[in-house]
Amino acid sequence: MKNQTILPLILLALLLSCQTEPETTTIQSPQGGLQLEFLLSDTGIPQYTLTRNGAPVIDTSGLGFNLRESGVLREGFTLVSTEASETRESWTPVWGTQKEILNHYNELLVELSEKGDNPRKLNLRFRLFDDGLGFRYEFPEQEALKEVTIMEEYTQFRLTGDHLAWWIPADYDSYEYLYHNTRLSEIDTAGYNYNIQDRADRYIANPHAVNTPVTMKTGDGLYLSFHEANLTDYAGMTLGVQPGNTLQSELVPWSDGTKVRTQTPFVSPWRTILVADTPGALLTSNLILNLNEPNQIEDVSWIEPMKYTGIWWELHLGKTSWSLRQQEGSWGDKGGTGHGATTENTKKYIDFNAEHGIRGLLVEGWNQGWEYWGRDTLGYFNFYTPYPDFDIEALVEYAKSKNVALIGHHETGGQADHYDAQLEKAFEYYNKLGIKAVKTGYAGPVTPTGERHHGQYMVRHQRRVIEMAAKYHIMIDAHEPVKQTGLRRTWPNLMAQEGVRGMEYNAWSDGNPPNHTCIIPFTRMLAGPIDYTPGIFDITFNQYKPDNRVYTTLAKQLALYVTIYSPLQMAADLPEHYTGNPAFQFIQEVGVDWDDTRILNAEIGQYLTVARKEKGTNKWFIGSITNEEPREFTIPLDFLDEGKIYRAGIYKDSETAHWKDNPMAFVVTSTEVKKGDTMTLKLAPGGGQAVSILPVE
């Protein structure tokens, strides 16, 4: 009798407590501008919305998967629990664009379970920062899900309009494209005549999809950029355009069409949305880095940001060749008159570097195998056997005696499995020699055949390379890489990456138009530093290739050292094009590692002016670049220290400079400046200006 009256009372109390304490499903960003709401639809579909100051940025968007073993996982969910928390911490990057990074966010963890028998569990973790949102899927260990093969990920971003987007196609193999600027609904690769059908290292499956980061401007003048953070043992994500201004994740597949092969427990990479009032604010966001794990490398004393030259541009110009022997059909032979990476030529570069205080020297074409690169053969590169005319041991010693660091080179031609087989031996070899930086490359279709540069196979491969390099104290500069997702926080030996249509395209294609370097800071560079390889002074290089050129002025080449951020920054031109040129002084002086970064003005595709303060010094550098339009800016020098006098070295386009017909005309002047002064920058069409501001002792 007693129990019969108590039980309903307990049930009632439980019910009331549930009603009075509803699960938290909404969080604000630390300063309250952004709001994230998690919802379950009537049919149990997990969804989220993102609003800014009350206005929607992302409308109700669905989340979920299709799994090969157990089918679609995106409806019929119930909410098990939610948990909200706040994190505020600062961390110091080993190198970067600023001294300290604030990591401040509010988090919502949502635990979900399917209804019915043998329910599958799926958690969602949202982190809301003042400058955007990151969220990921977390699959807990569970009976109902052990082996998991992801066939589709259904992450939606339902936008509030047909925004203007800066995009490149969702090529599963390559990021080496010019950016297009169209409405979302106009994203379509048809009509661009990419001529990729006959290239085994290009593949566009969906003409209405993009690679990330993809950046947009909304009708309200807001800037959004979509990407991912901490891509670990998963497939790279492209975004397909769907009706209703919607983007949906499309993962890069394995050769058999599956997307991700894994087992529980596992987490997906973070899906990220930057939200900014101005284009400049996109550039200073640390959201992607903050969503990566802290540094894993204890002793970082060997990690060294630096400028470098290379036996490189002369190979792309066809002055010399990568391969020792001329071989028809080989990409390693551009028709040059001889082998570039000889002992004698390398010494010439070492001497140049020593004289001008440039620390690094990259040498490409030093090892056996280049005769076969790009031809239909497999397994040709050898990563620890130099060509006989390259005395590597003597050169390393010679370089050391002059305080020059040789940068090694591993071009794999895309043959990742072949490289894997030599990986440890290759890094051990360089480590024994004392070489502590290596440029890797994957120029060619990936082997095993059918795997893609941005699929899970290569994501795994790239991580093995980074970790093996760390073991042997080697920094990595990866070309044709897996996209950057902020791993440099965890593995600060992952320095720069390509994955961009860089300088090399000016040597042998229709080139990069003047606006290209005004777009990539707001798109590709939001993912991480790029090895763009600026600094071409002989802009038309008629001696080598009269039909090609760089679409720039010389002063703009200098400005790129500041507007493009990279801890490895190349002075890409031939030594003979620098010798005696007063503009080279700027390349000698400019920093590569920074305590502070200020975006002084910015408009995507039009112009960008950046000031950076070199790490550990009081030196500031300004770079300002424009597209085809001439510009004049007045810049307040309010970032300088109070009461200090500085000498400004000004490298500007001359009055008559023009990227098209007078690209090399520049003027160098110098003046004293202090905090409170203003400086007027005058940029020619396709031009730029560089300024070094050094304290007067």
State the catalytic residues.
504
Closest to ligand NOJ by CB, 120 or 501? 501
Output the smallest distance, CB 421 to ligand NOJ, in A: 19
Measured CA to CA, the distance from residue 102 to residue 87 in angstroms comes to: 10
Residue type, 590: V
Chain residues binding Ca ion by CB under 5 A are: 479
Residue type, 465: V
Output the smallest distance, CB 209 to ligand NOJ, in A: 24
Q: Is the dihedral of CA 148, 36, 293, 288 positive or negative?
A: positive
Q: Which of 318, 441, 535, 567 binds ligand NOJ (CB under 6 A)?
A: 441
Residue 60 DSSP SS3 = strand
Residue 153 binding: pick among ligand NOJ, Ca ion, none (C-beta 5-8 Å cut-off by kind): none
Strands 132-139 and 223-229: unpaired
Span 567-626, contacts to ligand NOJ by CB under 6 A:
none
Closest to ligand NOJ by CB, 360 or 441? 441
Q: Which of 283, 156, 284 is nearest to 215 (CA)?
A: 283
* Residues 6 or more apart whose Cβ sits within 8 Å of residue 253: 172, 235, 259, 452, 455
* Residues 6 or more apart whose Cβ sits within 8 Å of residue 573: 313, 535, 536, 537, 538
Q: Which of 411, 538, 573, 614 binds ligand NOJ (CB under 6 A)?
A: 411
Output the smallest distance, CB 480 to Ca ion, in A: 5
Residue 411 binding: pick among ligand NOJ, Ca ion, none (C-beta 5-8 Å cut-off by kind): ligand NOJ
Name the closest residue to ligand NOJ (Cβ). Answer: 411
Cα separations in angstroms, 507 against 43, 510, 568? 56, 9, 21
Q: Is the dihedral of CA 291, 294, 297, 300 positive or negative?
A: positive
Q: Does 407 bind ligand NOJ (CB under 6 A)?
A: no
* Residues 6 or more apart whose Cβ sits within 8 Å of residue 663: 539, 540, 549, 550, 552, 553, 554, 657, 686
* Residues 6 or more apart whose Cβ sits within 8 Å of residue 284: 97, 98, 597, 599
Token pair, residue 575, equals 């030594």
Residue 364 binding: pick among Ca ion, ligand NOJ, none (C-beta 5-8 Å cut-off by kind): ligand NOJ
Q: Does 504 bind ligand NOJ (CB under 6 A)?
A: yes
Span 512-551, contacts to ligand NOJ by CB under 6 A:
none
Output the smallest distance, CB 365 to ligand NOJ, in A: 8
Residue 441 binding: pick among Ca ion, ligand NOJ, none (C-beta 5-8 Å cut-off by kind): ligand NOJ
Token pair, residue 563, equals 């507007």
Residue 223 binding: pick among ligand NOJ, Ca ion, none (C-beta 5-8 Å cut-off by kind): none
* Residues 6 or more apart whose Cβ sits within 8 Å of residue 410: 381, 383, 419, 426, 438, 439, 440, 441
Output the smallest distance, CB 578 to ligand NOJ, in A: 19
| Binding-residue pattern over the window 55 to 84 for ligand NOJ, x denoting contact by CB under 6 A | ------------------------------
Residue 610 binding: pick among ligand NOJ, Ca ion, none (C-beta 5-8 Å cut-off by kind): none
Closest to ligand NOJ by CB, 114 or 477? 477
Output the smallest distance, CB 443 to ligand NOJ, in A: 4
Span 311-340, contacts to ligand NOJ by CB under 6 A:
312
Q: Does 364 bind ligand NOJ (CB under 6 A)?
A: yes
Measured CA to CA, the distance from residue 364 to residue 319 in angstroms comes to: 14
Residue type, 299: D
Size of the site for ligand NOJ (CB under 6 A): 8
Output the smallest distance, CB 360 to ligand NOJ, in A: 14
Span 464-483, contacts to ligand NOJ by CB under 6 A:
479
Closest to ligand NOJ by CB, 228 or 531? 531
Cα separations in angstroms, 197 against 67, 255, 604? 31, 18, 31
Where does this chain bind ligand NOJ (CB under 6 A)? 312, 364, 411, 441, 443, 479, 498, 504
